[in-house]
Amino acid sequence: MATVRTGVRATGAVLAAVLGATLVGCSSTGGKRAEERAAQATEGRAAVNTPRWTFAMVTHSGDGDTFWDIVQNGAQQAAAKDNIKFLYSHHKEGQQQAQLVQAAIDQKVDGLIVSLAKPDAMKDVVTKAVKAGIPVVTVNSGSAESKKFGALSHIGQDETIAGEAVGEELNKRGRKKALCVLHEQGNVGHEQRCDGARKTFDGELKNLYVEGTNMPEVQSSIEAKLQADRDVDAVVTLGAPFADTAVKAKEQAGSKAEIDTFDLNAKVAQSLKDDDLGFAVDQQPYLQGYEAVDLLWLKKYNADVLGGGKPVLTGPEIIHKKDASALERYTKRGTR
């Protein structure tokens, strides 16, 4: 695991202290009250910053994946604000991810953030963390299992609802036959997305399983399907990096199919502007990382819990060409 930057949640206290110093010269009574308020704010700041907690995030994907880069950006910025020591690790295989969670438990971290793409592999270790008194927040995948495993809350989009939104959008766009490209076999969230789309889509939708770690193979698989079936008029990828690959496959196959995708990044925003993509489904990964850290901080500091036992939803939001320009500058800074 690697330690990342930390920070201090003190902006309000600093402003109060400055304001108090300014008002001292205006009136003795007002100045005294301002000084008292500044002292109270400073006292509150000390309470916020003591002790300094350590939170660990363990996910099923990570470095080099633009989606998870954005999740990390959100988590790191919240950790800096909350004066948290933040640790991050990941592994695509469920058993190895569980081992990383166990390592965090052994380090006696103060809070855990985990994704549950492969919940069966994660159940025992997450339950163990909860029994050890470590508050757990789940993110991105596993909303159905989160509460069962004892997590405080789940932050992300409901994958079935997101899939249903895609099916409805395909209907609006007049599509009749679609491919749903699954790039990580065994990921329950991916299956839920495609099943949700199939539920609301009036046309025919078939799953296409590809090896997401091998982009040339992803391209050739999509290309072969488009060449073999000219009736396919839509391809839905489940991650932003795969959208551009699908566009290339479409071009090579000489297909007229529309390419659509889950998730947003700078390349997707540009492709929407250029009409290379029809639409994107944004689940706001920055919020998933940021709010996960904040929820743990609030639990430790003030015994607060959000969600009331239900997932805290960050999506889906359907993004079109008209939305891309406004979001582009945020994608370039790594927060959308």
Instruction: Give the model's confidence band at 330: pLDDT under 50 very low, under 70 low, under 90 confident, else very high.
Output: very high
Q: Do 177 and 276 share a domain, yes or no?
A: yes
In a domain? residue 226: yes
Measured between alpha carbons, how far is 169 from 49 in angstroms, rounded to an integer? 46
Give the model's pLDDT for residue 27.
37
% of the chain beyond a pLDDT of 70: 85
Q: What's the pLDDT band for 225 if we cut at 50, 70, 90?
A: very high
Residues 151 and 177 grouped into a single domain: no
The rounded distance, in Å, linking the Cα atoms of 293 and 152 is 12
pLDDT in tens, 2-14: 433 343 333 333 3
297 and 261 in a common domain: no
Give yes or no: residues 25 and 74 share one domain: no
322 in any annotated domain? no
Q: 84 with 6: CB under 8 angstroms?
A: yes
Among 277, 278, 279, 287, which residue's Cα sits nearest to residue 330? 287
In-domain check, residue 73: yes
* Pair (145, 208) in one structural domain: no
Residue 330 lies in a domain: no
| Residue 44 binned pLDDT confidence (cut-offs 50, 70, 90) | very low
**266 to 122, 315, 333: CA distances (angstroms):** 32, 18, 9
> How is 312-326 classified by DSSP, letter by letter?
EE---EEE-HHHHHH
Strand 317-319 and strand 136-139: the pairing is unpaired
Check: CB of residue 181 under 8 Å from CB of residue 246: yes
**Mean pLDDT of the 107-117 span:** 97
Least confident segment among 4-13, 165-174, 217-226 = 4-13
Q: Residue 134 is part of which domain span?
A: 54-157+285-305
Segment 164-181 mean pLDDT: 98
User: Rounded CA gap, 283 and 159, in Å?
Assistant: 10
Instruction: Check whether residue 163 and residue 275 sit in a common domain.
Output: yes
Q: pLDDT digit string (tens) for 259-290? A: 999 999 999 999 999 999 999 999 999 999 99
Poorest-pLDDT segment among 22-26, 75-79, 329-333: 22-26
Give the span between the Cα atoms of 93 and 89, in whole angstroms: 12
Torsion sign (Cα): 97, 98, 101, 103: negative
Q: Would residue 333 count as lying in a domain?
A: no
Rounded CA separation 297/79 (Å): 9
Pair (99, 88) in one structural domain: yes
Residue 124 scores a pLDDT above 50: yes
**Cα(299)–Cα(306) distance, integer angstroms:** 9
| Residues 11 and 64 both lie in one domain | no
Minimal CA–CA distance to 239: which of 260, 214, 217?
A: 260
Are residues 176 and 139 part of one domain? no
Query: Of 187, 195, 235, 229, nearest to 211 (Cα)?
Result: 187
Give the number of domains in the chain: 3
Higher pLDDT, 168 or 7: 168
SS (H, E, C) 69-135: HHHHHHHHHHHHHHCCEEEEEECCCHHHHHHHHHHHHHCCCCEEEEECCCHHHHHHHHHHHHHCCCC
User: What's the mean pLDDT when you consider all of the chain?
Assistant: 87
Question: What band does 48 get if pLDDT is binned at 50, 70 and 90?
Answer: low
Residue 41's pLDDT is 41
pLDDT value of position 8 = 37
pLDDT in tens, 301-326: 999 999 888 999 999 999 999 999 99
Question: Would residue 253 count as lying in a domain?
Answer: yes
Task: Please tell me whether residues 174 and 275 are part of one structural domain.
Answer: yes
Both 183 and 297 in one domain: the answer is: no
- Assess if residue 328 is contained within a domain: no
Using only C-alpha atoms, what is the Rg of the chain? 23
Note the pLDDT of residue 194. 98
The verdict on 240 and 175 lying in the same domain is: yes
Specify the CATH number for the domain of residue 170.
3.40.50.2300
